[in-house]
Chain A
């Protein structure tokens, strides 16, 4: 389990995150939700080791995240950034291959190349494998990086070893509707296969459909944390997002409908 305990992040006198505790569990999809500036990305940075919290501690299987070597940690978790500023013209396949970096001792083995193919297939970019990264659209680039982080946390042959974690910062950015669903359905399948997935999402309906537990942030504090029934209520959503919200049942799924407050 990867857990954050009383995470607080301050920049000067400004507190961005205040005493947030949560756990990302293997086999589950955790959605981090909240309005702009609520501290979602800051929280994700703390959980991934991308930024040291001012106070509090992140542990992975009971051991402090900072006690792991960077390569050891890279074999356990991958992070999909909100946007990437890669400005060099690699082929798509070369970018995805970078995901195997922490696993490679000397040279790639056949298994690495197989994983790269599978990851590209999952992210629906296998037809672009030999295209050049800089010629792709924003959504296509996003999918290349999705394939890259997939290749990084891909389970080993026998599904052995400690559980791996995948962090996604707004993974549906720039994606069309079909690929938004594909992306999160993939996250769901990975969780079912034993991965711990944690994603920042803006679309509450996508979150409701694919996530198991919900982390709702407001002004850097944890406003609500738990299952859909506890967190995704019309009252809480209306208050946190400053909208008029109702939650309806549609074909066995919950849907959030919103109007301006």
Chain B
């Protein structure tokens, strides 16, 4: 049973999660094929912040920690936070805990946008650097609006319609991605079909980590102002408007914010499923559905989950890597099945 939380307790939960995130991030910096000591990690980070000097043997540690592991770990935190927060917001909007960005097709929409950018933007003479994330985000926003409107029947979100729309969108998007990758296989940028279906954090660099941060960090803070309206939304759209919530504006904010965050993660890391489903659910079970805690706590726990999963994925069979999506699907798939079984009655709504 969830606890009832007063504001100081809410803050304590968030601080505890934030501390855990930082500790796990630090531990992840130490893990990997190349051995690095905690002291070296400290000196490398301090030297880049202008707080200290590297010592004689720290050159290799600097390359590994600062240029390879740190951007990837920060990127993983941001990807996990963005996907979990987007999941929590979309679940509030759809008033359904099954609305995962991957399941309902938002991520596929983004992937479709990204692949379109890779193929067509060079033909039009645009560089793919900004075009790719922009088109990925556009794809995600468009698909979310489509799903929201298709799955509403008589003012209520129809669960079956939502999931079926997601299946259709996923199938269409995957087919196009498969076709594109097959036809334009020589284009190295397209990478592989598995990048788009199972995701990978291997390509994260400082540039992509910063791009992710520019969207996701402000997104977390903006989402806090949507927490109370989202609580009211769970009563129903009409009820929320009777409580003074500008439902049209809130809906647009959530769709745009949620899809932008999903879009930017897909652009850099492909489709990583189930994080947006599992993480908010764990928070709801532990602390209740109040979005004032759910949104920031999902972002933090999402970051934690992704750092742990990614560290596991890159070390378990080093020097080879396990695709991150395989890991999240192995853990998240059965979780989703469990949710379906637990809520079987509700699905007929």
Q: B-contacting residues of A (Cβ < 8 Å)?
A: 48-50, 70-75, 77-79, 81, 84-91, 93-95, 98-99, 101-102, 104, 107, 130, 132, 152
In the assembled complex, 21 residue pairs joining A and B whose CB atoms fall closer than 8 Å, in A order, are A49-B241, A50-B238, A50-B241, A71-B246, A74-B243, A74-B244, A85-B236, A86-B236, A89-B2, A89-B289, A90-B288, A91-B288, A94-B4, A94-B290, A95-B235, A98-B231, A101-B231, A101-B245, A102-B243, A132-B1, A152-B243
Q: Decide if A98 touches B232 in the complex (CB within 8 Å).
A: yes
- Which of A70, A79, A93, A152 is B245 in contact with, Cβ under 8 Å? A70
Q: Decide if A48 touches B288 in the complex (CB within 8 Å).
A: no
In the assembly, what is the distance between CA of A99 and CA of B244, in Å? 10
Q: Decide if B289 touches A90 in the complex (CB within 8 Å).
A: yes
Please indicate the chain A residues that have their CB under 8 angstroms from the CB of B243 in the complex.
Answer: 74, 98-99, 101-102, 152
Interface flags, B1-30, vs A, CB<8A=1, else 0: 110100100000000000000000000000
Query: Helix, strand, loop or mixed for chain B's interface?
Result: loop
Take A87-B95, A101-B232 as given contacts and tell me if A94 and B244 are in contact as well, using a CB distance cutoff of 8 Å.
no
Please indicate the chain A residues that have their CB under 8 angstroms from the CB of B164 in the complex.
Answer: none
Query: Helix, strand, loop or mixed for chain A's interface?
Result: mixed
Q: Decide if B244 touches A93 in the complex (CB within 8 Å).
A: no
Q: Decide if A130 touches B4 in the complex (CB within 8 Å).
A: yes
Please indicate the chain B residues that have their CB under 8 angstroms from the CB of A88 in the complex.
Answer: 95, 97, 234, 284, 289
Q: 5 closest pairs, A vs B, by CB?
A: A74-B244, A102-B244, A71-B244, A88-B289, A79-B242
In the assembly, what is the distance between CA of A91 and CA of B288, in Å? 8
Most buried by A among B2, B231, B239: B239
Take A81-B238, A85-B156, A88-B234 as given contacts and tell me if A70 and B95 are in contact as well, using a CB distance cutoff of 8 Å.
no
Closest to A78 in B: B242
Please indicate the chain A residues that have their CB under 8 angstroms from the CB of B346 in the complex.
Answer: 87
Please indicate the chain A residues that have their CB under 8 angstroms from the CB of B241 in the complex.
Answer: 49-50, 70
In the assembly, what is the distance between CA of A84 and CA of B235, in Å? 7
In the assembly, what is the distance between CA of A89 and CA of B287, in Å? 10
Q: Decide if A90 touches B290 in the complex (CB within 8 Å).
A: yes
Q: Decide if A94 touches B242 in the complex (CB within 8 Å).
A: no
Q: A-contacting residues of B (Cβ < 8 Å)?
A: 1-2, 4, 7, 95-97, 156, 228, 231-232, 234-236, 238-239, 241-246, 284, 288-290, 346, 349
In the assembly, what is the distance between CA of A87 and CA of B238, in Å? 15
In the assembly, what is the distance between CA of A107 and CA of B10, in Å? 14
Take A90-B289, A98-B231, A101-B228 as given contacts and tell me if A84 and B236 are in contact as well, using a CB distance cutoff of 8 Å.
yes
Please indicate the chain B residues that have their CB under 8 angstroms from the CB of A71 in the complex.
Answer: 244-246
Please indicate the chain B residues that have their CB under 8 angstroms from the CB of A73 in the complex.
Answer: 244
Q: Decide if A93 touches B228 in the complex (CB within 8 Å).
A: no
Please indicate the chain A residues that have their CB under 8 angstroms from the CB of B235 in the complex.
Answer: 84, 86, 95, 98
Closest to A129 in B: B4
Please indicate the chain A residues that have their CB under 8 angstroms from the CB of B242 in the complex.
Answer: 48-50, 74, 77-79
Take A81-B239, A101-B228 as given contacts and tell me if A86 and B244 are in contact as well, using a CB distance cutoff of 8 Å.
no
In the assembly, what is the distance between CA of A158 and CA of B284, in Å? 39
In the assembly, what is the distance between CA of A78 and CA of B231, in Å? 17
A169 to chain B, nearest CB (A): 11
Please indicate the chain A residues that have their CB under 8 angstroms from the CB of B234 in the complex.
Answer: 86-88, 90
In the assembly, what is the distance between CA of A95 and CA of B289, in Å? 11
Take A87-B95, A88-B289, A89-B2 as given contacts and tell me if A70 and B232 are in contact as well, using a CB distance cutoff of 8 Å.
no
B25 to chain A, nearest CB (A): 31
Most buried by A among B97, B228, B244: B244
Closest to A89 in B: B289
Please indicate the chain A residues that have their CB under 8 angstroms from the CB of B236 in the complex.
Answer: 81, 84-86
